[in-house]
Structure formats: C-alpha cells, structure tokens
Structure 1
Amino acid sequence: MKAVIPAAGLGTRFLPATKGTPKELLPVLSKPVIQYVVEEALEPEGVDEVIIVNSREKPQIESYFRVDGGFEDMLRKRGKKAEADLVHEASSMPVSFVYQDNPRGLGHAVYCAAEAVGDEPFFVLLGDYFVPDRQMCVRMAEVSKQHGNASVIAVAPVPADQVSRYGIIAGECVGSLDGADATDEQEGAVWKVTGLVEKPAPEDAPSHLFIVGRYLLSPRIMDLLADQGVGAGGEIQLTDAMERLLAEEDMYALVVDVDEGCDTGTPAAWAGVNARLALKDPATREAFLEALGRSGLSQAE
C-alpha cells in the first residue's frame, strides 16, 4: 500500500525564503516538515512506500532523502554518531518520486502518482500539515476496514460563519470509530458521505464539517482523475473526482480534532508550530523559554 504526498508547489507564501529552500524542507525544530509527514504516512499497517509528487525545480527534496555515505562518515569521524544516525534514518526511508511538470491542481498532482500507486487503495497526505502522534491515518484505516474497505476522508468542525472557506461534506452520522455513542460533530464520529460542496454559503452548507488534508482513497479515483475536467481556479480538483466516485462507491468521513495536528502552511502558522513543539519537548523547553526571556517575550507561553 502506498501513500502520496503532493509537494510540487512553489511555496509562494514563504518567498523569498523558498527561492532557495523548498517549503517542505523548512525545519520544525530539527526536522523538516516533510519528514514529519513521511513518518506519519508510514505509520498505518501495510504502508510500505511514500510517493512524493515533486517538481523538477526542487531537487533538494530528493537530496534530503538520498543516502550520503560521505557526509555520514564525516560526522562519525568527528564523534557525531548520534547525528549521523539521525541523518541516515531520514535518508533511508522508503521514499520515491514522481513529477508534476505543470501545476494543474491537487487532482492532477495525485494523478501523477497513478502508475506508482497501481491498483490498490492509497493515502493522500497534504504536505503542510502533520500529526505528531501519527495516528490520524491509522484511525482512518480502521474506519475503512469497518466499512468494507471504503474510501475515508478526515473532517473537522468549523464555525458556521467560516464554511464558505472550505470543502464541506454532506451526509449523516452512522456511528463512531470505537462503537460508543457520538454526536454528529464529535471527535471519533463516523459519517457516510453523500456529497461534497466546495465553499458553500453558510445558509447552504449541508454540515459544518470541512475536509482536512488526509484521504484514504479507492484506486478507482485514478481512473476518474484521468479524464477529470478543470474545476475551480481552472485546475483539476480532487474534490470533483471524489464527487464522481460517490456515484459508484461508498465513502465515509472520520471526524478528527484538527488541533491535534500542526499546520505549517503560512509563515505565522509555521512559526507557531515551532513554538508549540519547542514548549512541549523537554529537550528544548527550558532553552526556548530562556531565549524568549532574552527577547522580552517570556510571557508568550
């Protein structure tokens, strides 16, 4: 089973930094964002490879995941064995690459991995959001197994006045992941999806549940993406192909706590994630608070 991470975007929100460093390689503490996402993608049982949909203009991502024996040897000769082991661990992950030569939307990016995915269900994880405990996709796989290996998407509640910013699901709550009673929008609730609405007006929204950047999809979606027309923004939208999939197959949604994840999609969000994890990590907490104190920001916690 494969997991697909689209990573061919230009990272324009982070310019000028991303002129020389892909946004996926920007660090959160001591690891780049994309390593966290790869580690999360490999957590569900059966996932044996991560396919990164890359741009040929971003070879740095491939270099990061390539073994560099010379660099590792140099670190070890300098007594940096622990650091060398960390470098080797990152560069020996089961990661492969395909290319999106023209930015034509998320649906097109996913379709670029069709040959590599083959005729099997697969995960899609957006590369600017990661879940530190790595369990969101694991729980999605459990929901899929409970419902005949159906496609599953992660969703989370959003205030009514914000539904017009997101893709919103239609459907009904059919239970919960653990079998306990659950309200419609409670974490762990499972919905049977009947429709997907892109950025509805508040009065037209069929629910308040928006699509988070985690998908477990039937291989049939690749056939649909092959002839999917352009949609919003003149791009090939994954959501449009998922709507067509609903006409043929069942689809479910798992309500998750979106705040358990880390959004790094904007400079402010990325900085906030670094601060949040620095405060949680015993190895960095005191040094981080000391640094804030030197900056006159010790009350930021």
Structure 2
Amino acid sequence: MNVKKAIIPAAGLGTRFLPATKSMPKEMLPIIDTPVFQYVVEEAIESGIEDIIIITGRGKRAIEDYFDDSPELEMHLAKKHNTDLLKLVRDISSLVDIHYIRQKEPLGLGDAILRAEKHIGNEPFAVLLGDDIIVNDKPCTAQLIENFDKYGRSTIAVEEVPYEKLSSYGIIKGKLFDDSLYVLEDIVEKPAPEDAPSKIGAIGRYVFTPEIFDCIKAAGKGVGNEVQLTDGIRLLNESQTIYAYEFKGTRYDTGDKLGYVKAIVDFALRNDFLRDDVLEYLKLVTASETSLE
C-alpha cells in the first residue's frame, strides 16, 4: 500500500524560543521570508503525500491561517497588480489537503500521533516533525518511503549525533543491513551519553505501519511522564522488523537556537539576491572579530 498520508505534530510549546513563542507558534518562525513549517509541508508534498494531518494545540491558530485563503491580502495585491506575490500567496493556500486536530494537552509526541489514528485508518503513513528542515535533491521522507516500498516495514530516519547531544535524542542500537540501512535492535529515549547504545540518533522523520498506534497505547507514559513515540517503536519492534535509515541530506534543527541561525545563514547564501551581500557582511564580521583578538 502506498504512503499517501502524513502526520505533522505542531502542538509543542516552543519554550526554547520564548518570549517570541509566547504569541507565535515556533513552527512559524521564519527562515528569511518563509516559515519553517512551510519547508516541512513542502517536503511532504514532494514525497508524494496527498493528505496531511497537522496536530495543533492552544495558540497555534496562525498555522491554520497561514495555509488558508487570504481574500483581503489577495484583493490588495490584485489591485496593486503585484502578480508574482499574488501567485505566491495563492499557491500557499492550495498546496495540499490539510486537516487539523487539536491536542488538548501537551502529553508527548506519541500522544500527538494518536490523535490522528481515526484519520489514518489501516494505512501506512509518514510523520514529519516541524522542527527539522532537511535539504536534499531527494526529500528525506521520499527516501524513507522508497525503503518502505522495498521492504514493507516501518522505517525511521537517523544520523550520527554529537556526544554531548545524545541525551536529546532517541538513540538506536542496530545491525547494518544494507547501504545506510540498519535493522533496528533497540532504541532508547534520551539516554545519558555514557549509557547510549550508539551515536546514531532518530531525527524527525518516520514512516510507520498502522500497528504503531496500538503499540503507543500499550506502552503508556514514559520519560517525563509523557507518551513517548520511542516506547511505541520499541514495542512494535518486538513483533515487526523496523529499519533505521541514515538519510542523505543536510538537517537543520530549527528547534535549537544555533541550528536556527545556521539555517538562516545557509539559506541566505543559497539565495541569488542575498548571497553576495551576506558573504560581504560575514567577511566584515570575521575581520572585525579578528582585529579584536
């Protein structure tokens, strides 16, 4: 069965970016002129996803408004004959079928995914976390779907994680099966670095068989008294083979302040209109810092 549905959890409180996220969803923080969340939605679409379920929470209405029609803005742009911007705004609201489900309390990633169970039904589906932007000619989710189509098993995206960051990820133990593909043996949620089974961590992209829902429910609450997706993956792994795939591409963790800044700089350097000016500015800053040493 083809993977045509995706869940994008977006109910987190965004405490690492307070006070900005007191009134703005962290997913709507801009990378220059485009919200982080749009890059995630576009990755899903470019991977063949036709149906997106966004899990929202209190204070996330800006996400719904962003992907909705904007008659007043469109009328204003039409009157100004600004056809390029008008097309851009209209394209955003017609990207894909999007549905919204409210997670009433922030009870963890596993709980957020469970909110979409009725909509997913008995189909395989993708999960994309809104914090991660992944840049590659072939989208990360498309890479996972390609592996799912080949082997018919749940597949999670992984990459090597710096030692000091191991306690922020689900860390896998796996056996290399094919090029960049591991058979999952275990996964541990946010271990102390000295207890981690490897340096390979799960990042925010997954493709699951629908059995994951029952496993999440059976696992119950875990670390932080929240419903952890990692615990559901461990249970699913007892009855089905799960693969971990070292994806191709560059990941920006925009939920981390340094990762967010790196994304802005790199995307600016890829922008034909900004590249030269940004490079010149970076040279000036570097020269200034050097002179102060």
TM-score, structure 2 normalization = 0.90
User: What SS does the aligned partner of 2:219 have?
Assistant: coil
User: What SS does the aligned partner of 1:9 have?
Assistant: coil
> How far has the Cα of 1:159 moved from its partner?
4.4
Equivalent runs, 1:107-118 vs 2, <5 Å: 107-118=110-121
> How far has the Cα of 1:274 moved from its partner?
0.6
Greater alpha carbon shift after TM alignment, 267-276 vs 212-221: 267-276
- Correspondence for 1:182: none
Change (3 A) 1:214 1:275: same
User: What SS does the aligned partner of 1:50 have?
Assistant: strand
Change (3 A) 1:154 1:83: same
Contact 2:216 2:233 in 1 (8 A): no
- Correspondence for 1:73: 75
Change (3 A) 1:75 1:246: same
Contact 1:4 1:124 in 2 (8 A): yes
Segments of 5+ residues of structure 2 without an aligned counterpart are none
User: What SS does the aligned partner of 2:135 have?
Assistant: coil
C-alpha separation between the residues in 1 aligned to 2:27 and 2:162? Answer: 29
C-alpha separation between the residues in 2 aligned to 1:194 and 1:131? Answer: 26
- Size of the alignment, in residue pairs? 283
C-alpha separation between the residues in 2 aligned to 1:57 and 1:165? Answer: 25
- Correspondence for 2:214: 223
Segments of 5+ residues of structure 1 without an aligned counterpart are 177-188
- Which residue among 129, 134, 157 is the counterpart of 1:154? 157
Change (3 A) 1:5 1:298: same
C-alpha separation between the residues in 2 aligned to 1:192 and 1:2? Answer: 24
User: What SS does the aligned partner of 1:124 have?
Assistant: strand
C-alpha separation between the residues in 1 aligned to 2:164 and 2:261? Answer: 26
C-alpha separation between the residues in 1 aligned to 2:186 and 2:219? Answer: 17
User: What SS does the aligned partner of 1:8 have?
Assistant: coil
> How far has the Cα of 1:216 moved from its partner?
0.4
> How far has the Cα of 1:29 moved from its partner?
1.8
- What code does the residue aligned with 2:199 have? H
**Cα-to-partner distance string for 1:217-272 (whole Å, 9 max, x where unaligned):** 111111222343110001000000111101111100111256x1222112332122
User: What SS does the aligned partner of 1:141 have?
Assistant: helix
Contact 2:171 2:197 in 1 (8 A): yes
Greater alpha carbon shift after TM alignment, 156-165 vs 136-145: 156-165
**Cα-to-partner distance string for 1:152-180 (whole Å, 9 max, x where unaligned):** 0011123456534432112210112xxxx
C-alpha separation between the residues in 2 aligned to 1:243 and 1:274? Answer: 35
- Correspondence for 1:179: none
- Which residue among 164, 169, 172 is the counterpart of 1:166? 169
Equivalent runs, 1:20-169 vs 2, <5 Å: 20-45=23-48, 47-94=49-96, 95-133=98-136, 135-147=139-151, 149-159=152-162, 162-169=165-172
- Which residue among 265, 269, 274 is the counterpart of 1:275? 265
Contact 2:23 2:59 in 1 (8 A): no
- Which residue among 243, 261, 265 is the counterpart of 1:252? 243
**Cα-to-partner distance string for 1:61-104 (whole Å, 9 max, x where unaligned):** 10001012332121021121101111111111222111101000
Q: Aligned residues: percent identity?
A: 40
**Cα-to-partner distance string for 1:47-74 (whole Å, 9 max, x where unaligned):** 2011110013221110001012332121
> How far has the Cα of 1:290 moved from its partner?
5.0
User: What SS does the aligned partner of 1:40 have?
Assistant: helix
> How far has the Cα of 1:292 moved from its partner?
5.1
C-alpha separation between the residues in 2 aligned to 1:132 and 1:86? Answer: 21
